[in-house]
Amino acid sequence: MGISTLRNTLVVGLLVTASAQILNAQSPRMVLFEEMSNASCVPCAAQNPTYHAYITQHMDRILPISFRSRYPGRDVMHDADPTMHDGRVAFYGSPGVPNVVVNGIPSTEPTSGFYAGAAADTAAESRELAKTSATSPVSIAVVENRYGNNSDVTVTVSSTQALSGKKLRMIVVEAHHYYTSAGGNGEKDFYNVARKMLPTLDGVDLTLAANETKTFQQSYQIDAANWNADQVYVVAFVQDDNTKEVYNAAASTFMPKLLLSLGQPEANVQSTVSQSNWTGAVTSSVGGQYRFTISKKLPAGWTATVTLGGSPAVDGDTATLTKDMPSDLAVAIVPSGGKPGMGRVSVEISNGHQEVTKIFRLFAGKADVAVLVRDEGNAAIADKYDEALGKTDRSYFLLDQGIEGQFNLADFKVVGMEVGKSILSGADVEKLKAYLNGGGRLFLAGAEIAWGLVDSGSSNQGYYSDPLFVTNYLHSTYVADGSTAQTTVNGVAGDPVAGGLSMKINNGVANQDTPDQIVPLEGAVQTCTYNNSTGAGVRYADKNYRLVYFGFGLEGIGDATLRSSLVDKSIAWLLGNDLTIAGVRSGSLAGTALNVSPNPVTGMMDIPLTLSRAMHVSVSLYDMRGARIAVITDGEFEGGATLLRFDASSVPAGAYALVMSTPEGRTSTMVTVVR
């Protein structure tokens, strides 16, 4: 039974007639997302739900428009105005669909596993959004006055900087349209569809002196037979046609909005296990029936409630929202039994064409395990970790980057980093170094970690590179990028982490097409291998820190019991006290030094060593893929000063790692060979 109607007040919409105020100062910048899509495109149907969910979560900064391509097949929205849609697709030279252009600039930094501009690549879209400045010298205001189906549009533009040869474009957009059959891919709900450009595809020429304001007026008629009149609004933006950059954008007051505002953050951190409460208000610019989708993930014994307008709300309930009239929303999470844990309540409110989702989280008490979420924006990946840890007796927190700053990693017994198929950033590497230097216990898994840090090929340009982190901290050699042929991971017999386990990695989240092949360096141990016998996982422990590192993503394991067993056994070993080597931590060799002169080197290079005592010393040169190029020495040395010499004249130009191993550990330095 649905929630009772919250308000019975009749609100009459008023026509906006006041002039827009333009401030001669930096203005908030709205970011224009232009999608090229097609109703017969199968990948579009697969990617658009992820893209639309992302857009609705960022409507405070994003103005989305969907243009319709003529390929690969029938699209009734394209056919309604082919000149406009074909022209805008051609303007960007869109290579295929679906394709998203952010602020007029096609994406050139796709997340691993996606092509540039993929609609579902929300991680790349977030990077583009983050790169866009929050303000712009250009201010835009759009005002509509409607008389039935006729609309007069006034667009006012100002700039604190002189603009010459730019374009002002005005587009009539429909927020939502439901078609029983718009094409051949099965999609029925279409969002932010471009319907008409004012006055034409080319827009209006725009030149402004610094601090000058100009006003432009257009009129159009709503096609009431083919458009949803209450969903139609106008987007205006200023663009440079040479660079394609969009300086700013704005929408008219008729753009439908659904807002859920809160007076407090959605994540609550408590040192003790106690109740957490949130209150807020739901407001919609379009009244009517709204459906509630409510999901809860709570530790055993915990409870949670959601109320709207004072009435309890459960999953599937409906409520009537009155236009522009806020309705109270309250969420409460109540722990039980005093056990630390993480509780989550997700509330989605939708009327079929506009929606808003909020996730409320309570982190209560002091958990054993923290998992830092670093995936490519796919919520299913973190869910796989949640499911695996939930089957163990460990208390745990899943921490995204928005919340992890409220925690001290040293307070957790074990820290994991859930990377998905993403690449580690420099900030992430430095965070892990600091954690391990402090004596941490690290669980790390991901299909592109070593590839991203080591591979110097053109496919990896622009990513953060740190080969020495792989050798000195992860105690591994990166062998190669794997392939879809590596479908299974088998534990090494007797290994405390993976022994006795055999797991498919291609029946969970489908992102394990190129898992890293990794093998242990001296002092580390191979825990598991792929079905082609190449290395899949490494563990390492010394007197300072311990780690378990897998070259595949845990989320690829579809069997929840096996996934949970691997996590639980890894944590148990990390909390143990056996060592994989004797002596001190690698990279911290007391009384030793590793230097190279000259560096860069063309021929002969000197390697002076200072040894604290007599010991066995091995020095080798490795390329950036982990292959050993040369053994410079491997033998016994007296304590004190020793000079090694190596002729690099036959070594190809490039970057190399010079690695020294002794009974006290391992250290390395980078060497550049030039020709």
* pLDDT of 526 strictly over 50: yes
Q: Is residue 632 included in any domain, yes or no?
A: yes
Task: Give the closest residue to 9 by CA, choosing from 324, 351, 448, 380.
Answer: 324
Domain of 410, CATH number, reads: 3.40.50.880
Q: How far apart are the first and last CA of the chain?
A: 78
| Final residue before a domain boundary, out of 342, 363, 384 | 363
- Based on the domain organization, do 285 and 329 belong to the same domain? yes
Task: Give the per-residue pLDDT at 331.
Answer: 96
- Residue positions counted in the chain: 675
- Counting the structural domains of the chain, the total is 4
Tell whether 50 and 69 lie within a shared domain. yes
Closest Cα partner for 115 from 126, 104, 107, 105? 107
Among 217, 251, 285, residue at a domain's last position:
251
Least confident of 318-327, 461-470, 600-609: 461-470
Q: Is 398 exposed, middle or buried (0-12, 13-18, 19+ CB in 10 A)?
A: buried
| Cα 574 to Cα 392: distance, rounded to the nearest angstrom | 15
Instruction: Please determine, for residue 458, whether its predicted confidence score (pLDDT) is greater than 70.
Output: no
Q: What is the pLDDT of residues 296-329, one digit of tens each?
A: 999 989 999 999 989 999 998 988 888 888 999 9
pLDDT tens-digit series, residues 554-589: 999 999 999 999 999 999 999 986 655 433 333 334
Establish if 18 belongs to a structural domain.
no
Give the burial class of 223: count Cβ atoms within 10 A of its Cβ; 0-12 exposed, 13-18 middle, 19 or more buried. Answer: middle
Q: What is the CA radius of gyration of the chain?
A: 29
Q: Percentage helix, strand, coil, to 5, in the chain? A: 15, 40, 45
Q: Which pLDDT score, from 0 to 100, does residue 9 have?
A: 22
The top-scoring range by mean pLDDT among 144-148, 426-430, 563-567 is 563-567
3-class DSSP state of 332: strand
* Angstrom distance (rounded) from CA 259 to CA 60: 9
End residue of a domain, out of 198, 220, 251: 251
7, part of any domain: no
Confidence of residue 552 (pLDDT cuts 50, 70, 90): very high
Task: Report residue 177 as tokens.
Answer: 């349209």
* CB-CB contact of 212 with 159 (8 Å): yes
Q: Quick one: 237 and 278 in the same domain?
A: no
- 582-612: buried (b, 16+ CB within 10 Å) or exposed (e) per residue? ebebbbebeebebebeeeebeeebebebebe
Residue scoring higher pLDDT (427 or 26): 427
Query: Same domain, yes or no, for 227 and 125?
Result: yes
pLDDT the model gives residue 8: 23
> Dihedral of the CA atoms 621, 622, 627, 629 (nearest 10)?
-30
Is 588 inside a domain boundary? no
Alpha-carbon gap, residue 560 to 380, rounded angstroms: 13
For position 25, what pLDDT does the model report?
A: 55
CB environment 656-665: b (16+ within 10 A), e (fewer): bbbbbbbebb
* 56 or 334: which leads in pLDDT: 334
Co-location of 375 and 232 in the same domain = no
pLDDT in tens, 335-350: 988 889 999 999 988 8
Residues 518 and 616 in one domain: no
Q: Name the residue range of residue 269's domain.
A: 258-363
Q: Are residues 398 and 359 in the same domain?
A: no
The per-residue pLDDT for range 34-65, each reduced to its tens digit, is 999 999 999 999 999 889 888 877 877 899 99
Residue 585 belongs to a domain: no
In a domain, 199, yes or no: yes
Q: Is the peptide bond preceding residue 95 cis, with omega within 30 degrees of 0?
A: no
Are 244 and 95 in the same domain? yes
Q: What is the CATH number of the domain that holds 78?
A: 2.60.40.10
Round to whole Å and give the CA distance between 382 and 418: 7
Q: What is the pLDDT of residue 587?
A: 39
Most confident of 193-202, 458-467, 489-498: 193-202
Which residue is listed with tokens 């949803």? 228
CATH code at position 265: 2.60.40.2040
> Are 359 and 390 part of one and the same domain?
no
3-class state of residue 311 by DSSP: strand
Within a domain: 496: yes
Q: Do residues 48 and 148 both lie within one domain?
A: yes
Q: What is the pLDDT of residue 138?
A: 97
Give the pTM. Answer: 0.61
User: Cα dihedral angle (399, 401, 404, 408), rounded to 10 degrees?
Assistant: 120
pLDDT of residue 15: 26
Residue 265 has pLDDT above 60, yes or no: yes
Does residue 518 lie in a domain region? yes
Same domain, 67 and 116: yes
Higher pLDDT pick, 459 / 166: 166
Confidence of residue 2 (pLDDT cuts 50, 70, 90): very low
Per-residue pLDDT, 376: 63
Together in a domain, 195 and 244: yes
Average pLDDT over residues 433-446: 96
Query: Can you give the pLDDT at residue 522?
Result: 74
Percent with pLDDT over 90 in the chain: 57
- Residue 304 backbone phi and psi in degrees, to 5: -150, 145
